[in-house]
Amino acid sequence: MKLRSLMVAALVLLILAGVLYWSGHHKSSTANVSAAADAAPAILHLSEPDITQLTVARKGSAPVILEKTGSGSWQITAPKQMRADQTNVSGILNTVSSLDSERVVENKAGDLSSFGLSQPSLEIDIGEKNHTTQKLLLGDDTPTGSAVYAMVEGDPRVFTTYSYYKNSLDKGLDDLRDKRLLTADSDKITRIELIRKNMDVTFDRGKDGWQIVKPEPLRADNSQVQQLVSGLTGATMDLNGAHSKDAAALFAAAQPIAIAKVTDDTGTETLEVRESKGQYYAKSSAVEGVYETGSDTGSALDRSEDDFRNHRLFDFDYDEPNRVEVRSGADSWLFTRNGGEWWSAGKQMNADDIESLVSKLRDLSAGSFVSSGFTAPGIEITVTSNEGKRVEIVQIAKAAHECIARRQNEPSLYRLDAGIVDDLTKAAAAIQPAKK
């Protein structure tokens, strides 16, 4: 009985020791977390959607005032009205809405000049929709260079915060303005007119992609027109270029490259690009002034009509054909697909042989376009695809070293290499029945 009492007492003592250890450890951890929070409190904690106005004032520069529009986008209202760079503004909003400190330097600073805060290098005024305002002040870098002194007007504390926060806030007018030369939405562009010397081409976007509608209806190469779209919507002003200050005078004397008229659901914008000594200059209806711009913009516009035409003879692309018929003189071959199998004259055909022919038809492309030279067709190829909804017929007239082809009911004439055409007919003739 005595031994049992001793065991119970020992167990109780062990439990009490565990409770005391946990209690002391928990208090210590809580105290550490509390101390860490006190050592590095938030400088600003705001609701980003509630911010409606920003004023960014660099020391020695005119303040840049930005206001949120009814649509939620941001505009620069001073020093003059202009579009804002939404990405850079978003970076500022993200920073000021949740700005953390590294630590508190002084709870009640007396001499702000020792921190560079009596004449801050950067001031950010933040206006919210409830008409409250906050003013963030950023001063000198700390001796280590990894942080910067900061405070909020009305709060006596001086903080240090990380330098990368300052980098995201320290934006001038050129950083905050929208540098796009055209504002059209690339996904909503429906028409482009490209005017060059001896060339005036108009592209329309339909449900099946881009088509040339002027000077005459022609098949367009969607990938090439899309490159033009990217070049136009990606055109920006180079505000730091070597000739940016003289852009207007240099533009006036430069050689015209092209004029592009871009239409989307909001209207039509015009961009004119000129070149002088390898440098490009641009003038846009969407923004006031003349600007230096990148060579990518010039290259996108400096192209001929043929560059935008579809050189391929067939449009079935990577749709699996349902039926292929090749006629060459007195010879003809007809292949039909049933599920994953190809058949001809009641026999299943070798899949690899068929794939070789289909690949050659898919890749059949013109080296150039001609306006005449098509005589009697010696070859006719019919490809049915899209479950019978698309039927394409191509006729080819052979000459000594080249062939001229045309698509049924279309005016364009395509120049083909005679060797490529020979390979195509040989591929059709070489198709064998599948081995059992």
The DSSP code sequence of 233-266 is: HT-BB-TTSTTGGGHHHHHHHSEEEEEEEEEETT
pLDDT at 36: 41
Residue pair 376/397 in contact (Cβ under 8 Å)? The answer is yes
- pLDDT (tens place) for every residue of the chain, 436 residues total: 444 554 545 544 455 454 344 444 433 333 333 344 455 899 999 999 999 999 999 999 999 999 999 999 999 999 999 999 999 999 999 999 999 999 999 999 889 999 999 999 999 999 999 999 999 999 999 999 999 999 999 999 999 999 999 999 999 999 999 999 999 999 999 999 999 999 999 999 999 899 999 999 999 999 999 999 999 999 999 998 888 889 999 999 999 999 999 999 999 999 999 999 999 999 999 999 999 999 999 999 999 999 999 999 999 988 999 999 999 999 999 999 999 999 999 999 999 999 999 999 999 999 999 999 999 999 999 999 999 999 999 999 987 789 999 999 999 999 999 999 999 999 999 999 999 7
Helices marked H in 161-278: 163-169, 173-176, 222-233, 247-253
Which residues are bridge partners to 202 per DSSP? 193, 214
Q: Collapsing DSSP states into helix, strand and coil, what is residue 39?
A: helix
Q: Collapsing DSSP states into helix, strand and coil, what is residue 58?
A: strand
| Whole-angstrom distance, CA of residue 326 vs CA of residue 172 | 66
Residue located via tokens 């009985």: 1
Q: In what order do the strands lie in the sheet with 323-328?
A: 347-348, 341-344, 331-338, 323-328, 379-385, 390-398, 402-407, 413-417, 368-370
With 0-12 / 13-18 / 19 or more C-beta atoms within 10 angstroms meaning exposed / middle / buried, residue 344 is: middle
Q: How many CB atoms lie within 10 A of CB 248?
A: 12
Domains of the chain listed by start with CATH number: 42-176 (2.60.40), 191-308 (no CATH), 323-429 (no CATH)
Half-sphere exposure at residue 66, Cβ-oriented, CA atoms within 13 angstroms: 30
Tokens of 153: 């007007």
